[in-house]
Amino acid sequence: MTESIQHARPCQLLRNLQFSPLKEGDDQYVLLWDPSGLSTEKLIVPLSYFFLLQFFDGEHTLEQISGEYLRKFGEFLVPDRLQRLVDDLNDKLFLEGERVDAARHAALAAYRAAPIRTAVFAGKSYEADPEKLMTQLKGCFSSKEGPDRKESEHKGQPIKGLVAPHYEIKHAGPIYAWAYKELQDAQAPDLFVVLGTCHAGLQNGYAVTGKDFETPLGVVKTDPAILDRLKTTAGFCLDEELAHRNEHSIEFQLPFLQFASGLTKAITVVPVLCAFPPATFFDPHMRELRDRIETFLGALRDALAAAGRPACVIASAELAHLGMRYGDSSPPTDFSFHRCMQTDLTMLKHVEEMNANAFTQFIVKEGDVRRISGFAAIYTLLKLLGDGKGQVLRYDRSITDQFNSTVTYASMAFY
């Protein structure tokens, strides 16, 4: 039985959802979904309702939300309509509360009980059949946008790290290939730290899982010794292990890693999801998160040192996000994209110089207006590598919706 609006919870808190604008004729809508995969539902709302969702912040009562609607649109919002929106969000597990807590608890128990982290996106974002996947990967290298057979200028040298996109492989595959061609040509280790961008967000900044990862090309095993040390010295990094269940940013790297290195020798990985903003290092209210970041970085450095073998750190990261899908009021133009490209490449010079602090300050100084989603993964890579030299190998972008929203990304190598 539906509660009346007067007896509904006074303040509703919307979960960390993703959204995309839609257009049908002259009408505009917004599509909402849960990047964590806890809910598999989607919801399409008109722009007026999307305006209201910013007030589902745990601080506004439903009566106050109705008042915001009146101020914005000059008309009253019928209470039953607002309550139906609340009920719909709640039914789809889009609002924090007891139902979401119970679903999260059950999902975590099921994930931990499973023998392996399954290949969630095989057959959706890349080929599920092993032979077809090998053909797809080879095509990424031989495509006109890929590296083809050109040898790396660093051939035979020990490689320390890579940055690669985590955009859809069918679109960005050749850009991945530029990074993994370096790995093919390098003196590659058998231990890899794979840093993924966590799109659902994290309370602790980092989330590690001990699950081995399934791919159509076989199983990629995690490194038990390093995971055991992390569990002892930074155990909080396992608290949000569920984030790995439906996150694509690590999964998309693994077929390329197997293709470039893992099909000829046994390899192990340390899978780490990352999520924290550049402002973390300047905001006095984020000291606890800063402390956790430093604790984890120290623990992972110590664990890698104790392993006594070289490792390659891979950051799965995108750069700028432009357009209405990402919160801009209008679509990007050719001029705004080219200006963004110039700014991206200027920013990446700090990454090439392996200067994590300058990289952070660059983004903070501009107010992160370009929404650099891969910041946390790239920052972590730089802090783990310490010294050396990086190189931008290839830069590109993809259009993500009918409004020309744009994502930029690059491949890099570090020696």
**Better-predicted residue by pLDDT, 69 or 8:** 69
| Digit-coded pLDDT (tens) for 270-279 | 999 999 999 9
Distance (Å, rounded) from C-alpha 18 to C-alpha 198?
12
Among 247, 265, 277, which residue's Cα sits nearest to residue 360? 277
Distance (Å, rounded) from C-alpha 16 to C-alpha 199?
9
**Residue 1: what pLDDT?**
38
Whether 317 contacts 347, CB under 8 Å = no
CATH of 117-414, one of 3.40.830.10, 1.20.1730.10, 3.30.2040.10, 3.90.105.10: 3.40.830.10
Using the structure block, give the residue that is written with the tokens 């980092």.
206
**Residue 6: what pLDDT?**
42
Helix (H) or strand (E) segment spanning residue 1? none
Question: Where exactly are the structural domains of the chain?
Answer: 5-105, 117-414
How far from chain centre, in Å, is Cα 19? 15
Report the b/e string of 355-394 with b at 16+ CB within 10 A: ebeebbebbbeeebebbbbbbbbbbbbbbbbeeeebbbbb
Kindly tell me if the per-residue pLDDT of 97 is higher than 60.
yes
Q: How confident is the model at residue 10 (pLDDT cuts 50, 70, 90)?
A: low
How far from chain centre, in Å, is Cα 14? 20
- Rounded to 10 degrees, the C-alpha dihedral 231/233/234/235 comes to 40
Q: How confident is the model at residue 385 (pLDDT cuts 50, 70, 90)?
A: very high
Distance (Å, rounded) from C-alpha 48 to C-alpha 45?
8
- Please state, in angstroms and as integers, the Cα–Cα distance from residue 205 to each residue in 143, 157, 272, 380, 382, following that order: 37, 32, 10, 11, 16
Distance (Å, rounded) from C-alpha 270 to C-alpha 284?
31
Give pTM, 2 decimals. Answer: 0.92
Kindly tell me if the per-residue pLDDT of 3 is higher than 50.
no
- Please state, in angstroms and as integers, the Cα–Cα distance from residue 74 to each residue in 26, 45, 51, 392, following that order: 22, 19, 14, 52
Kindly tell me if the per-residue pLDDT of 173 is higher than 60.
yes
Is the C-alpha dihedral spanning 295, 296, 299, 304 positive or negative? Answer: negative
**Better-predicted residue by pLDDT, 4 or 353:** 353
Please state which architecture CATH assigns to domain 5-105.
Answer: Alpha-Beta Complex (3.90)
Distance (Å, rounded) from C-alpha 318 to C-alpha 315?
9
Kindly tell me if the per-residue pLDDT of 66 is higher than 70.
yes
Instruction: For residue 327, report the phi and psi dihedrals to the nearest 5 degrees.
Output: 110, -5
Q: Considering the chain, what is the average pLDDT of its residues?
A: 94
| Digit-coded pLDDT (tens) for 262-296 | 677 899 999 999 999 999 999 999 999 999 999 99
3-state class of 345 per DSSP? helix
